[in-house]
Structures are given as C-alpha cells and as structure tokens.
C-alpha cells in the first residue's frame, strides 16, 4: 500500500528546494502528478478521472478526481484532491476544502485504499485571523474538521452543510515565507 501522505510531503520538499515550481492549482496538479508518475511506474497516474470510471455508484459530492493512482487490474486505487486558491473568498474556499474531504471519504467508502486532500495557500486569512467563528474555527483555532460544517454564505432555514464521518487534523506546514499547505489523508 502506498504511503500517500509521505509521497506528497516529499513532493513539497522538492518545491521547497526549488526543484519544482508551483504557481497555481493547475501547476500543483500536474507537477504532483508527474512527480508521482516518475516514482510509481507500476501504477497509472491520471488526471480528472470521473468517479464512474472506478465505480457504478457515482452518487458522490463531486464527479472528477484531480489525481487518480491505480494498478492496471484496479486492485489498488488512490485519489488526491487539490486546492490552491489565489483570489481570496476565504470562507467559501474553506468550505471547498471540506467538500474535498467529504469527497475523499466517499471514495474511500467505494473501495479506494487511501485518499488525500491537499490545500496550498498563500494568504494568511486561511490559517490565522481574529474571526474564529463558524468555518474559520476549524482552520484557524481548532485545526481540525469534523461533524456538520455549514456553508458560510448560507442563510435561512435551508442552509447547506457537509457532514463528515471522521475528524481530520489540519496541520498547516510552511512551504516558504508566503505559503502554507496541509495534507489530510483518509485511510
């Protein structure tokens, strides 16, 4: 079984050492995919694969997997979701982080060996600030996501929410002076 979190951490070490440059979500997806493909020749590493490719049960919160890693006989499957927000929208992007975690929980339930979510941010409001209520508390104060998390821009009695099955630590790591990242692995 792949040590998914270890491999992603190693990728970020290459970014820190300036051997790989990441400047937006597209570059993060492709550079990480290339990095994994070079190190995992016995696996297929593919981008934007539809869930239906792996399972007829496609009632997932999202339809496309950012990076899929699998054996030719599909006996081992892994999935990675990525976020690299560049234009603010902090509470909405945080909710997208939670949505990715829910998606990875769902894929794990569909038979994926491990799944992971990665967020790379360059704005401090994602990980620190004075408002630590609502969705902010999970990423700035408690550093864990769990339970029912409500969409921050919802209003009224029909508020949208995501219910997570597990509890996942948000361990922000320094990438450089401007950026931090976290890796959440669902085993």
- Full pLDDT tens readout for the chain, 187 residues: 899 999 999 999 999 999 999 999 999 999 999 999 999 999 999 999 999 999 987 799 999 999 999 999 999 999 999 999 987 889 999 999 999 999 999 999 999 999 999 999 999 999 999 999 999 999 999 999 999 999 998 655 568 999 999 999 999 999 999 999 999 999 8
Instruction: Please give the pLDDT value at position 146.
Output: 98
Rounded to whole angstroms, how far apart are CA atoms 9 and 116?
Answer: 12
Instruction: Please give the pLDDT value at position 88.
Output: 80
Look at strands 144-145 and 114-121 and give their pairing.
Answer: unpaired
Instruction: Please give the pLDDT value at position 155.
Output: 59
Which phi and psi (to 5°) does residue 97 adopt?
A: -60, -45
Residues listed for the chain: 187
Rounded to whole angstroms, how far apart are CA atoms 22 and 32?
Answer: 9
Asked if 32 and 9 count as a contact pair (C-beta separation under 8 A), the reply is no
Instruction: Please give the pLDDT value at position 156.
Output: 54
Look at strands 148-150 and 144-145 and give their pairing.
Answer: unpaired
Look at strands 168-169 and 161-163 and give their pairing.
Answer: unpaired
Instruction: Please give the pLDDT value at position 57.
Output: 75
Could you give the C-alpha distances from 28 to 36, 77, 81, 111, 162, in angstroms and in order? 12, 21, 11, 26, 26
Instruction: Please give the pLDDT value at position 135.
Output: 95
Tokens 């969705």 sit at which residue?
Answer: 135
HEC string of 37-105? HHHCCCCEEEEEEEHHHCCCCCCCCCCEEEEEEECCCCCCEEEEEEECCCCCCHHHHHHHHHHHHHHHH
């Amino acid at each position: 079984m792949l040590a998914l979190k270890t491999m992603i951490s190693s990728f970020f070490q290459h970014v820190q050492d300036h051997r790989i440059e990441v400047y937006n979500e597209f570059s993060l997806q492709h550079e990480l995919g290339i990095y994994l493909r070079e190190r995992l020749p016995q696996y297929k590493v593919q981008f934007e694969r539809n869930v239906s490719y792996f399972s007829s049960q496609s009632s997932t919160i999202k339809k496309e997997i950012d990076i899929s890693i699998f054996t030719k006989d599909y006996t081992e499957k892994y999935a990675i979701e990525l976020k690299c927000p560049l234009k603010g929208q902090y509470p909405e992007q945080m909710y997208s982080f939670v949505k990715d975690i829910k998606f990875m929980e769902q894929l794990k339930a569909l038979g994926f060996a491990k799944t992971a979510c990665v967020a790379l941010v360059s704005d401090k409001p994602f990980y620190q600030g004075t408002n630590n209520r609502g969705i902010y508390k999970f990423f700035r104060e408690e550093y864990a996501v769990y339970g029912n998390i409500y969409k921050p821009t919802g209003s009224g009695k029909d508020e949208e929410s995501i219910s997570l099955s597990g509890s996942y630590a948000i361990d922000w790591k320094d990438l450089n002076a401007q950026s931090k990242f976290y890796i959440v692995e669902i085993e």
